[in-house]
Structure 1
Amino acid sequence: MLTRHEANTRGRDFFVGDLHGQYCLLQEALQGVDFSTTEDRLFCVGDLIDRGADSLDCLKLAFMPWFHAVCGNHEDLAWNAFCDGEGSSAWELWMINGGGWVIDSGVNETRRILQAALSQLPLAREVAIDGRKFGMVHAEPPIDWLRIEEADRDSLIWGRSRIQQSDETPVVGVDAVVVGHTIVERPLTLGNVHYLDTGAFSTGRLTLVDAKELLRW
């Protein structure tokens, strides 16, 4: 459910929005900030896969020691599809929502890598940064971060009620929460919740932000 990270005493911390198979965009963004894989850390809000041809490469990032993501609804869609099998309604739902890349990547190979990657993709992460506590989930945090481990799983990876209602009520028990899932034209903050999914697969805009910059937001 939750993975906690102590402060990074060697380098910087960055947050990035939904990848959706945009591996090259991510590499360009990392080069743009001189990202160091030995000192810096990258926290991703999930949805590594689907809609982009390089989804398998993005999924493999889950095994990199400098990369830390949460499970998104598209990882959930994919696993449900594999569990129910080709031809099932879950499989068709995945295909409709951008899972077609699996045909070129190989069904059996993708299933193997996804199953292993899911063990590296908790539903939530908590990161210590400059004496502050950052939370990260894919879609919607609970109103009290201290109860994150009791939160509804579907809300964490599918929820949109906060952004649909423009709810600016701060999440208590945490200084800031970073999420993705809902595409926004530019990074959006509601209360202390930061939305970073700028639709990389359709807009070509992948939001990568230094955690210390989020503190200023």
Structure 2
Amino acid sequence: MLENIEVSRVKRFAANTAGRDFAVGDIHGHFTRLQTALDAAGFDPAIDRLFSVGDLVDRGPECRAVIDWLAKPWFHPVRGNHDDYVVRFDTCDVDNWVYNGGSWFAGLAWDEQREFAVQFRDIPIAIEVETAGGLIGILHADCPFPSWDQLRTELEAPESNKRLKLVQNSCMWSRSRIQDADSSGVAGIRALVVGHTPLRQPAVLGNVYHIDTAGWMGGHFTLLDLASLKCTPPINPSLSYDWE
């Protein structure tokens, strides 16, 4: 089992005064497709930043390329449930992981598996980004609390390891907000950006932006400009947001 190393669960970023900040939905080992979407948006790695809602690996053909992407100074992900499998590779339900796209990892040598786990352990659960319009929060799946301040407290100063595990699992796995069409939103931030649930097009519920438009399985990668909260490509009003 990997040693217990303390890592930051909430990572903060100051406003980008030189370029643009984008968020993108689940990647799942399709980095070439992602790069194509960035090129189409005129992404400039010298001044722009890309924030990922996680699920960097599994299911796609380029999972090992994630190491190169994690080294890019402008690429900043949160941890998705598939990324958490990598962190817990020596204790998780391997059969379930392989069934859900983890066979690429099962084929690696143990030393290489451990190196992936060490790098993925540094990926935070939550990201905060300052913008001119206010603070943006980024999680993989959902915020299980009515306010961002409460989530931050729960992640940074948990009352117990059991409580922390429950909160982290909700952040990485919950679909209750999108399934219930809950538009109550999250207080204390301008917007929350999440993925996890594949949709035909982005869905906005209150101030929560669901942007996994299945670029990894035949859809397209949506890039959300964190300053304007506008999507590239733009939302098509003729489509429902349900993925069928």
Q: CA deviation at 1:61?
A: 1.6
Identity of aligned residues (%): 40
Residue 18 (str. 1) matches residue 26 (str. 2): yes
Counterpart selection for 1:138 from 140, 146, 150: 140
Q: CA deviation at 1:209?
A: 2.3
CA distance in 1, matches of 2:108, 2:19: 34
Counterpart selection for 1:185 from 179, 200, 222: 200
Cα shift readout 1:41-62 (whole Å, capped 9, x = no counterpart): 0000000000001012134422
From the superposition, tell whether residues 114 and 61 of structure 1 become closer, same or farther in structure 2 (CA, over 3 Å).
farther
| Residues 52 and 101, structure 1, Cα contact 8 Å, conserved in 2 | no
The two structures have a TM-score, normalised by structure 2, of 0.81
CA distance in 1, matches of 2:18, 2:227: 15
Q: Which residue of 1 aligns with 2:35?
A: 27
Q: Which residue of 2 aligns with 1:68?
A: 76
From the superposition, tell whether residues 14 and 44 of structure 1 become closer, same or farther in structure 2 (CA, over 3 Å).
same
- Structure having the higher helix fraction is 1
CA distance in 2, matches of 1:106, 1:192: 43
Counterpart selection for 1:51 from 47, 59, 62: 59
| Residues 181 and 197, structure 1, Cα contact 8 Å, conserved in 2 | yes
| Residues 59 and 117, structure 1, Cα contact 8 Å, conserved in 2 | no
CA distance in 1, matches of 2:138, 2:196: 12
The two structures have a TM-score, normalised by structure 1, of 0.90
CA distance in 2, matches of 1:212, 1:105: 40
CA distance in 1, matches of 2:220, 2:110: 29
Q: Which residue of 2 aligns with 1:210?
A: 225
Q: CA deviation at 1:175?
A: 0.7
Query: Secondary structure of 2:45's partner?
Result: coil
Query: Secondary structure of 1:201's partner?
Result: coil
Q: CA deviation at 1:137?
A: 0.5
Q: Structure 1, unaligned stretches of length 5 or more? A: none
RMSD: 1.9
Amino acid at match of 2:115: R
| Residues 63 and 117, structure 1, Cα contact 8 Å, conserved in 2 | no
| Residues 26 and 54, structure 2, Cα contact 8 Å, conserved in 1 | yes
Q: CA deviation at 1:191?
A: 0.5
Q: Aligned ranges for residues 50-199 of structure 1 at < 5 Å?
A: 50-80=58-88, 82-84=89-91, 90-103=93-106, 106-119=109-122, 121-141=123-143, 142-149=145-152, 150=154, 152-199=167-214
Q: Structure 2, unaligned stretches of length 5 or more? A: 1-8, 156-166, 236-244
CA distance in 1, matches of 2:116, 2:45: 22
Counterpart selection for 1:41 from 49, 59, 66: 49
Amino acid at match of 1:192: N
Q: CA deviation at 1:106?
A: 4.8
CA distance in 2, matches of 1:103, 1:165: 35
Runs ≥4 residues deviating over 6 A:
none
Cα shift readout 1:180-214 (whole Å, capped 9, x = no counterpart): 00111101111000001112221241112222331
